[in-house]
A and B are shown apart, each in its own frame.
Chain A
Amino acid sequence: GESVGLHLPTLSVQEGDNSIINCAYSNSASDYFIWYKQESGKGPQFIIDIRSNMDKRQGQRVTVLLNKTVKHLSLQIAATQPGDSAVYFCAATYGNNRLAFGKGNQVVVIP
């Protein structure tokens, strides 16, 4: 099977600072990775994705870095805002495009 996990359960960050959330995956065959944001009472919301033929991808205020050598990816949020407070999940595909999720990392933005 696939194991996807997050290093830190909770990240507290000052508003305006940058946030970094880390994720490890176990299946070296995974070739597609997605970061999701989940706010209380809502479904996971797509943030950004990256394929294994890339090592970096940027979106609006977010950057995903992929290190296939150590099977690690990270999500960087620039200038963190109160609206960024949520649980963040990484997900990776494995075996016929099944999508496995990590346990989640709570980000708390301090005003």
Chain B
Amino acid sequence: DARVTQTPRHKVTEMGQEVTMRCQPILGHNTVFWYRQTMMQGLELLAYFRNRAPLDDSGMPKDRFSAEMPDATLATLKIQPSEPRDSAVYFCASGTGVGGYTFGSGTRLTVV
């Protein structure tokens, strides 16, 4: 089965450090989402891309978060500087708008 690959699976970092999360969408999928999941807020949309163009990143704190798609096989989400409140599971999902969107296994981020 085709899958969305996210790396790393787990990341523990100190407050103030830069964190980069990577996502390899399924080949042929033209839409990529980044979500953050916490117990309190559930799944929050951070950013999404269509055909590598950013369509919406209004869910991200702009001063510290950035999302890019340098090419069709890679999406990145960066946090600089990281803060303890950024601790969450970050999911990437890809799709074409038909048949739902496929999620990766997530990156569990802990900022201490």
Contacts and interface: CB of A to CB of B under 8 A. Distances in A.
Interface in A14-52: 32, 34, 36, 42-46, 49
Interface secondary structure of A, over-half rule: strand
How many B residues touch the partner, as a band? 20 to 34
Contacts, number: 47
A88 interface: no
Contacts of A99: 33, 45, 48, 93, 101
Interface stretch (B12-20, B60-68, B79-87, B102-110): B102-110
B101 A98 contact: no
Interface secondary structure of B, over-half rule: strand
B70 interface: no
How many A residues touch the partner, as a band? 10 to 19
B33 to A, nearest CB: 6
Interface in B90-112: 91, 93, 97, 99-106
